[in-house]
């Protein structure tokens, strides 16, 4: 019966393709181009329809104008770089003047108390973009400070029989909804929470203080949500390190810190770079976290883009801002590759 069924299905007694099916399989394998098309067609279709096509439409929209009633004007006379100019260049300045104003503002911001270098600030959109980049950098640094020791402990210190359990505990928060975790932070930071009640017992804390709707709440949310993406790549790199090299360095006179810094850390650098990218990109472009945890002074570029596509009804400016943010992400990926990472 099995032999008869295999014959009917075009398969031999071992269940392998035979007859016409086998000839077709061999013909496809001999023709590399046909095999490539067959293998890549589903992925290419998915990528083209659900990613590249909407991306192309938004890119085209970024060169249009907003009509009087919120419609997108895409006639030839409406196309241009006006949205990008509005994003980067204040009305009273030239392009070079806008560049100088941005550099001077960055220096004044990074070096408080220094003499002001320019009398005109960059556009609010540029300031919001750099503010979001700053959030992403701080979240990445804090995630590294928290995640690297944890990843090192899991990969090097923890007993082997407990390593898988610890990795599961790292990814356990992903079993809950993203919004549920954000609302949990809201409850923890609200004025009437147990945490804030205990915090208020400290002598230097004013009564009724709350950390909600603050920059601290936004940074806490970013680190809490994305720190597993720092831990897992670093753990993967540490797991592959040959720690006998550390022992050899210590035998040659290096102390434990020197051996770690010159031997172990360089070998974990690919994991650190990958984790930094995986934390920085979603942190800099975050929308939900600052929307739910931040106040009016804690909004980020993602909130601005959402407002342009929503209540403001200015799709061309929102599309231009989205592509500026995408450019920042591409620059961060380029820095990742130059830093020794591999996008494989």
Q: Residue 320 half-sphere exposure, CB side, CA atoms within 13 Å?
A: 22
Phi/psi for 128 (5° steps) reads -70, -35
Residues of the chain with CATH 1.10.3720.10: 123-338
DSSP 45-87: HHHIIIIIHHHHHHHHHTTSEE-TTSPEE-SGGG-SSHHHHHH
In whole angstroms, what is the distance from residue 113 CA to residue 3 CA? Answer: 87
E strand spans, 113-199: none
Tokens coding 50 = 């659900």
pLDDT at residue 344, as a whole number? 39
In whole angstroms, what is the distance from residue 253 CA to residue 259 CA? Answer: 9
Residues 6+ apart with CB under 8 A from 233: 270, 271, 272, 274, 275, 278
Tokens coding 222 = 């970013």
pLDDT at residue 337, as a whole number? 78
pLDDT at residue 26, as a whole number? 64
Cβ-contact 262, 119 below 8 angstroms = no
pLDDT at residue 27, as a whole number? 65
Alpha-carbon dihedral sign for residues 211, 215, 219, 224:
positive
Residue 73: strand pairing partners: 65
In whole angstroms, what is the distance from residue 220 CA to residue 143 CA? Answer: 10
In whole angstroms, what is the distance from residue 110 CA to residue 102 CA? Answer: 12
In whole angstroms, what is the distance from residue 156 CA to residue 220 CA? Answer: 27
In tens digits, the chain (344 residues) has pLDDT values of 444 444 444 455 555 545 556 666 666 566 666 666 777 888 888 888 888 998 999 999 999 999 888 888 888 888 999 999 999 999 888 899 899 889 888 888 887 776 776 678 899 999 999 999 999 999 999 999 999 999 999 998 888 889 899 999 999 988 888 889 999 888 888 777 777 777 777 776 666 667 888 888 999 999 999 999 999 999 999 998 888 888 888 888 888 888 888 888 999 998 999 999 999 999 999 999 999 998 888 889 999 999 999 888 899 999 999 999 999 999 888 887 776 555 43
- Residue 11, helix vs strand vs coil: strand
pLDDT at residue 301, as a whole number? 94
Tokens coding 291 = 């929307």
Residue 72: strand pairing partners: 66
Which pairs from 127-130 meet CB under 8 Å and 24+ separation? 128/299, 128/300, 128/301, 128/304, 129/301, 129/321, 129/324, 129/325, 129/328, 130/106
In whole angstroms, what is the distance from residue 135 CA to residue 217 CA? Answer: 12
The yes or no reply on domain 123-338 and CATH 1.10.1760.20 is no
Q: Say what angle helices 160-171 and 228-239 make with each other, to 10 degrees.
A: 160
Residue 319: strand pairing partners: none
Q: Say what angle helices 124-152 and 269-284 make with each other, to 10 degrees.
A: 140
Spatial CA neighbour of 298 closest among 230, 214, 241, 228: 214
Cα 76 versus chain centre, distance: 36
């Amino acid at each position: 019966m099995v032999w008869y069924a295999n014959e009917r299905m075009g398969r031999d007694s071992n269940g392998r393709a035979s007859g016409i099916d086998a000839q077709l399989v061999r013909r496809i394998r001999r023709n590399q181009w046909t095999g490539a098309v067959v293998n890549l067609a589903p992925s290419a279709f998915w990528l083209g329809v659900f990613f590249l096509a909407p991306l192309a439409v938004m890119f085209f929209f970024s060169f249009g104008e907003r009509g009087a009633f919120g419609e997108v004007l895409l006639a030839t006379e409406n196309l241009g770089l006006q949205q990008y100019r509005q994003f980067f260049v204040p009305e009273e300045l030239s392009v070079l003047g806008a560049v100088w104003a941005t550099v001077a503002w960055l220096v004044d911001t990074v070096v408080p108390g220094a003499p002001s270098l320019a009398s005109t600030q960059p556009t609010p959109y540029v300031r919001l973009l750099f503010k979001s980049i700053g959030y992403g950098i701080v979240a990445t640094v804090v995630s590294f400070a928290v995640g690297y020791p944890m990843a090192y402990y899991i990969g090097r210190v923890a007993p082997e029989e407990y390593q898988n359990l610890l990795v599961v505990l790292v990814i356990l928060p992903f079993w809950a909804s993203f919004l549920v975790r954000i609302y949990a932070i809201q409850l923890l930071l609200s004025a009437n929470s147990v945490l804030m009640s205990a915090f208020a017992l400290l002598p230097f804390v004013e009564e009724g203080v709350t950390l909600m709707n603050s920059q601290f709440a936004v940074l806490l949310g970013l680190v809490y949500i994305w720190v597993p993406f720092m831990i897992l790549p670093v753990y993967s790199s540490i797991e592959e390190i040959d720690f006998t090299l550390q022992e050899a360095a210590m035998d040659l006179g290096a102390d434990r810190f020197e051996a770690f810094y010159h031997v172990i850390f360089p070998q974990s650098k690919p994991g650190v770079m990958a984790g930094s990218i995986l934390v920085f990109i979603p942190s800099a472009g975050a929308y939900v976290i600052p929307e739910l945890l931040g106040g009016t002074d804690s909004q980020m570029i993602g909130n601005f883009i959402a407002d342009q596509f929503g209540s403001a009804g200015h799709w061309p400016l929102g599309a231009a801002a989205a592509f500026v943010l995408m450019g920042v992400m591409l620059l961060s990926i380029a820095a990742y590759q130059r830093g020794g990472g591999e996008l494989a």
